[in-house]
Structure 1
Amino acid sequence: MLTVAVAATLWGLLVSLGFTIPSYVVVGRTLFIAFVLLLVFSLLEQWPRQLPGWFARWVLQVLGVAVAVPPTVLLLYLYCTGPAEVPLWQDKQRLSGLATLSVSGLLFAPWFAAAALLRQRDSTVRNQALSFQLERERLERRALDARLRLLQAQVQPHFLFNTLANVRELVDSGSPQASAVLGSLIAYLRAAVPRLNDPDSTVAQELELLRAYLAIMHLRMPDRLQYSLHADEAALALRCPPTCLLTLVENAVRHGIDPSEEGGRIDVRVQVRNGRCLAQVSDTGVGLHAGSAGLGTGLATLRERLQLSFGPTATLSLTPQQPHGVCAELDFPAQRGQA
């Protein structure tokens, strides 16, 4: 609307140079003509509802604007002719003004309509592109969530089978600790299993699971396993994928402490540095050896879960310790979990 008003005003000022009447009168007439043409343009955008397949609506709109110029100018001049004035067709000056407005309108109005259609088409294309982008992002997010839940479902049986295998070993060996371990395991699973399906956990919840898990492992091999847990206060409320620390501790027990005749120690430390969360699980077990790359599906799955949750900046690294052992470190953005 504003664009039409500005264009009509410029049109009126331009053609008023050839008129003897005041410029504001000519501008008023061009504004009237322009808004009538705008009404025709808008009407033809909706009516008729259906057109033949070979006839484009934009052609109808441009032709409609062009065809509407002469009768609009004629009706304006007839309306402005007073009863005491000389008839329009006998007034050469007014006929000249009618012809000037009609010809200039025929020159400018269709081009202006075509330009408006081009802008409208560009706007429609941009809106469609934005809509497609939003829909693609929504579908990608849904696929990402589905992938994350699939990976999480792989962790659940991995953990359950490992812990149940530990209980079976105690039962098979006739250990008097079997009953205590089984009781601790039941209590642990009551707390742990509901969290395995949660999309997010916190460091504090992860440490709670670790204490219960390591208590079970310590009952199984009291003389061969020592451990410690430490976390910065600022790290406790940070979010992390469920069972991420548990996966590292499981691997330390299974691949480090268990194969060692002397056993070893597991130390868990979580810190916050420069907006990043650093979680370390180090053990003094047998350490890395040929063929141990990846240490099974647990760490490979954890690495992918981290990147799905936090993006490519989240990392999982393994480094050997001296004289023996392994340090596994998670590095991911420090983001607070949901309350």
Structure 2
Amino acid sequence: MTRTAANILPSAWQALVVTIFTLLLSWLLHLVSGTPYLSVFGRIGFIGAALLMAYSAAGALRPRWLPLGPARLGAVVLTAPVAAFITALVTQRGNFIPYLAQTETLVGHGLMVLLAVIFGVLFSLLAMRNERKERERADRLQIEVEKNTIERELLDTRLRLLQAQIEPHFLFNTLANIEALVAAGSANAGPVLRHLIAYLRAAMPRLSDADATLTTELHLVRAYLELMHLRMPDRLQFDVNEVPQTATLRFPAMALLTLVENAVRHGIDPSTDGGRIEVGGRREDETGAMTIWVSDTGVGMSETAQPGTGLANLRTRLQAFYGAGARLDMHEQAPHGVRVELHFHPGEKA
């Protein structure tokens, strides 16, 4: 079936409504006039089908200069007397002229034409109103889809911009660690440099990985801490715990590494005794809420310290991934140190 033919034919719902109405109207006229029901239904049914076809075809065949509404109403009004004339001609055959010559039958024929016009126009207006509502609903859905698409694209762009700020921050800190190691003339400079190269080779593909998971992030954190442990074996101890049931949990790339790097740089490095870093997490069985933490036993938070760009970006990225309810909390640890917690629900979206 071609596209034009499909547009000319009425919908199944329109055909059903017209059929039910003609059945009821035929029954009413049968009771009033005493004419056999099948005879009445044959004429009313034909007129109803003709009006329905006229309504539907007018939408597809109308000239471009003629609006849709007037085209359909005009087709229905013009089709009504023609369809009524055809029914009279078919049913009366050779008695058609004497049939119309009788006043009573002529009035009845005129009444049928009038009913066809009235109900045809009424049903046309109702059908056009329903079609207009359907179009408006479809337009609203399309606008909503386009709006969501644009918002998602803006969110992805924002995430890429935030991550672009994190990547240089991480790389420059790593290069500073290399410089300090070489300047100290440590015998471990060679092994540490080789570990650093291997680490960067593993880390670089993940810097822009939109599909990073919490498990891959924990592996990257462990590799980083092993590297830092080689640089200061007597001053840094660490423990990275696996979080159950998170192998495929999407997680902002480099987010956890930012917290661990801050713990090394601002907690362990300034401390003469060094300290320990612990990374872990848990998932609530009932709600599915996640808590990921990074704690250190370093020097703790300074009273004059201000949150850096890395933490501000991390808060924004976390909310972009998991919704406005996601948050980052920082706590002092006794006797000294800092614990940073990420709270979010994987089922929520921004």
User: C-alpha offsets along residues 175-210 of structure 1, whole Å, 9 cap, x if unaligned?
Assistant: 332222211100111111111121122233222212
Residue type of the alignment partner of 1:19: S
In structure 2, do the counterparts of structure 1 residues 236 and 17 end up closer, same or farther at CA, with 3 Å as the change threshold?
Answer: closer
Cα deviations by residue, 1:34-61 (Å, 9 ceiling, x for unpaired): 110111112221223311xxx5330232
Match of 1:265 among 238, 259, 276: 276
RMSD: 2.0
Q: Map 1:6-155 onto structure 2 (within 5 A).
A: 6-51=20-65, 56-83=67-94, 87-155=98-166
CA displacement at 1:266 relative to structure 2: 0.8
Q: Which has the higher contact order (CA 8 A, sep 6+)?
A: 1
Q: Report whether the alignment pairs 1:284 with 2:297.
A: yes
What is the alpha-carbon distance in structure 1 between the residues aligned to residue 34 and residue 134 of structure 2? 42
Using the aligned pairs only, state the percent identity. 42
Say which is worse superposed, 92-101 or 80-89, in terms of deviation.
80-89
Unaligned runs of 5+ in 2: 1-14
| Superposed displacement of residue 92, structure 1 | 4.1
1:19–1:97 contact (8 Å) kept in structure 2: no
Q: 1:67 to 1:334 in 2, by over 3 A?
A: closer
CA contact (8 A) 1:15 1:101 kept: no
TM-score normalised by length of structure 1: 0.91
3-state SS in 2 of match to 1:45:
helix
Q: Which moved more, 1:95-104 or 1:9-18?
A: 9-18
SS at match of 1:62: helix
Shift of 1:93: 4.2
CA shift, 1:131, in A, is 1.2
Query: Offset at 1:84?
Result: 6.3
Q: Which residue of 2 aligns with 1:301?
A: 313
Please give the TM-score of this superposition, normalised by the length of structure 2.
0.88
Contact kept, 8 Å, 1:81 with 1:87, in 2: the verdict is no
Q: Deviations over 1:28-85 (max 9, x none)?
A: 211110110111112221223311xxx5330232132122212221121011113367
Residue 345 of structure 2, aligned match among 324, 328, 333 = 333
SS in 2 for 1:234: coil
Structure 1 residues 288 and 87: alpha-carbon distance in aligned structure 2, compared to 1, 3 A threshold: same
Distance in 1 separating the partners of 2:249 and 2:72: 60
**What secondary structure, in the 3-state scheme, does the structure 2 residue paired with 1:44 have?**
helix
| Contact 1:235 1:277 (C-alpha < 8 Å) held by counterparts | no
Which whole-Å CA distance do the structure 1 matches of 2:344 and 2:85 have between them? Answer: 75
How many Å separate the matches in 2 of 1:211 and 1:21? 92
Runs of 4+ in 1 over 4 A off after TM superposition: none
Q: Which runs of 5+ in 1 are unaligned?
A: none
Cα separation, partners in 2 of 1:123 and 1:139, compared to 1, 3 Å: same
Deviations 1:105-130 (A, max 9, x none): 22221121111111111111111111
